[in-house]
């Protein structure tokens, strides 16, 4: 029996490793394709928009959006099959035990999801605002660091510190 337990645990660990490796590789390849398309679209787009957006904002959006996309895709890829099977098994057991209760839950579920949708929309708006602020901060810091020689030459360290502080304060 101990050998069977060790064998089962080993098979589970190897399977989990293979699943994680496969899903991570697939997600990374997909993101590379998305990044290539996004970059080509930004570079091939309207020049006025490209100049008006600011490089810091574009870089922040590009990196942050890719990180969010990567995290979401990895979570879905790693947990979708397991979670889907769990939900289906629970639904099957619930229907088997008490089908009337299962029908009531199916009727109530859409009503219960409304607060979640509203909360998700509020979070998305806050996230968009934070991303915009990150882009502005990145652009400001990039500009301040590029102007380091001028700041030093004219003794503008105080102004540079104040500008950086204002950027940090709007982010908080």
DSSP one-letter string for 21-82: HHHHHHHHHHHHHHHHHHHHHHHHS-HHHHHHH-HHHHHHHHHHHHHHHHHHHHHHHHHHHH
Q: What pLDDT sits at residue 146?
A: 74
Q: Which of 20-29, 49-58, 111-120, 146-155 has the lowest average pLDDT?
A: 49-58
Residues of the chain with pLDDT > 70, as a percent, come to 88
Instruction: Tell me which of 83 and 29 has the higher pLDDT.
Output: 29
Q: What does the alpha-carbon distance between residue 147 and residue 156 come to, in Å, rounded to a whole number? A: 10
Query: Model-level pTM greater than 0.85?
Result: no
- Average of per-residue pLDDT across 45-69: 73
Q: What does the alpha-carbon distance between residue 7 and residue 1 come to, in Å, rounded to a whole number? A: 10
Q: Which of 44-48, 54-58, 144-148 has the lowest average pLDDT?
A: 54-58
Q: What pLDDT sits at residue 121?
A: 84
């Amino acid at each position: 029996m101990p050998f069977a337990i060790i064998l089962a645990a080993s098979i589970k660990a190897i399977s989990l490793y293979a699943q994680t490796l496969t899903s991570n590789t697939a997600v990374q390849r997909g993101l590379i394709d998305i990044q290539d398309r996004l970059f080509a679209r930004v570079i091939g787009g309207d020049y006025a928009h490209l100049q008006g957006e600011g490089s810091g904002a574009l870089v922040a959006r590009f990196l942050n959006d890719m990180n969010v996309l990567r995290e979401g895709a990895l979570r879905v890829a790693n947990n979708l099959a397991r979670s889907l099977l769990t939900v289906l098994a629970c639904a099957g057991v619930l229907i088997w035990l008490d089908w009337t209760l299962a029908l009531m839950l199916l009727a109530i579920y859409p009503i219960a999801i409304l607060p979640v949708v509203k909360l998700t929309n509020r979070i998305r708006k806050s996230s968009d605002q934070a991303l915009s602020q990150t882009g502005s901060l990145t652009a400001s810091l990039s500009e301040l660091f590029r102007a380091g020689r001028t700041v030093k030459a004219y003794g503008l360290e105080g102004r540079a510190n104040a500008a950086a502080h204002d950027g940090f304060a709007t982010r908080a």
